[in-house]
Amino acid sequence: MEPTDPQEACFEAGVKFGSLYHQFAGTPISPDSAASLAAAMEEAIENQPFCEAVTVSVRTEVLENAISEGGADYTELTGRLIDVEMRIEYEGVTVETSMAMEDGYPLMQVDEVQE
């Protein structure tokens, strides 16, 4: 059975999230570099096919707390430090997705599918 356009659009969203998370996890981040890192993440993922928009928001208070718990002026990027929203458009289907912390885990999810 061939996948439907909405299924393909959701698959594309998953590819983008996997790329975003695993490409940037572990990157050094500080309050001074947070905005430029978020912008670089957005721009890198928006280069991929069918990706229309990406918004990466750094959770500033969580970042500052992580740094204060460590021994340096930075920490490494993990899912708990960012919230992400992404819009994928594939063959007339728009998929709205997001990533946010849920029960201590960065959960990536499909929020809405519009045909």
Q: Round to whole Å and give the CA distance between 9 and 12.
A: 5
Range of the domain at 13: 5-114
Q: Which whole-number Å values give the CA distances from 10 to 37, 48, 114, in the listed order?
A: 26, 14, 11
What are the tens digits of pLDDT across the range 13-46? 999 999 999 999 999 999 999 999 999 999 999 9
pLDDT for 105 equals: 87
Per cent of the chain over pLDDT 70 is: 100
Give the count of domains, the chain.
1
Q: Is the pLDDT of residue 71 over 90?
A: no
Which CATH number do you get for residue 26? 3.30.1300.20
pLDDT (mean) for 51-62: 97
- Binding-site residues, please? 12, 108
- Binding-site residues for substrate, please? 12, 108
**Alpha helices per DSSP H over 1-115:** 5-24, 34-46, 60-69
